[in-house]
Amino acid sequence: MQQNQEDNKDNSIKDIVPEISEEMKILVIVGPSGVGKDTLMNKILDKYSGKFKKAISYTSRKKRQGEREGYNYHYVTKEAFLKLIEENKMLEYYFYSGNYYGLPKKELEDRNKNDKILYINIGVSATEKIHEINIPANFIAILPPSLEVLEKRLRARKTESEKIIKGRLETAKKEIKAINESRLFNFKIYNDNLEETIIDLEGKLKNLYPILNIN
């Protein structure tokens, strides 16, 4: 019975996957918390605003300073998030540092309504799920030059307790190991120097999406 439920879940996800041409594959960006994914991609989105659409995930955590509802995340209570899961409205979700994070199916359903590249920022386990159900996508991992550098960046944010920071570092170790062992990713980029990394990321995106070379 459990297997049938899982099969039905996967089929329901496959039903919402749109037909996507090679040059319009979904872009999936993965990396541990604090590695700079949002900073890097915000630069790309600003420069190529007409080419990308950012998928907005849900989270049960509170907004950090400078974050915006409907831009960084949809911020909901844990009860509201669990209701979304119960109603089968989430493509994928996970529990991290005391809060839920997840991508709603609606983001893929809405992919049919525009001609932009859908950009998704999700966790490693969710990335594997997208690959398993054959959603047409390109995968890029953003990694820190070292765990020491990542720790400094997490502490510099000054938004979380010591307990949460330590938890994020432990999770980061597992995520980095999983990324390095995976053959899924088109590219792995180390974010050492921000300006150089932006140039590197932009070049790799142009390789994956020739449409970005057209002004």
143-165: per-residue pLDDT in tens? 999 999 999 989 988 878 888 88
Each residue's pLDDT tens digit, 152-206: 989 988 878 888 889 889 989 999 999 999 999 999 999 999 999 999 999 999 9
SS in 3 state form for 34-65?
Answer: CCCHHHHHHHHHHHCCCCEEECCCEECCCCCC
Query: What pLDDT sits at residue 127?
Result: 84
pTM, two decimals, is: 0.82
| Domain definitions of the chain by residue range | 25-213
104 or 114, which is more confident?
Answer: 104
Say if residues 206 and 51 touch (Cβ distance below 8 Å). Answer: no
The CATH number that domain 25-213 falls under is 3.40.50.300
Q: Which residues contact 36 (CB under 8 A, 6 or more apart)?
A: 142, 153, 191, 194, 197
Angle between helices 162-181 and 124-132 (to 10 degrees): 30
Each residue's pLDDT tens digit, 78-106: 999 999 999 999 988 888 778 999 989 88
- Alpha carbon distance 84, 75 (integer Å): 13
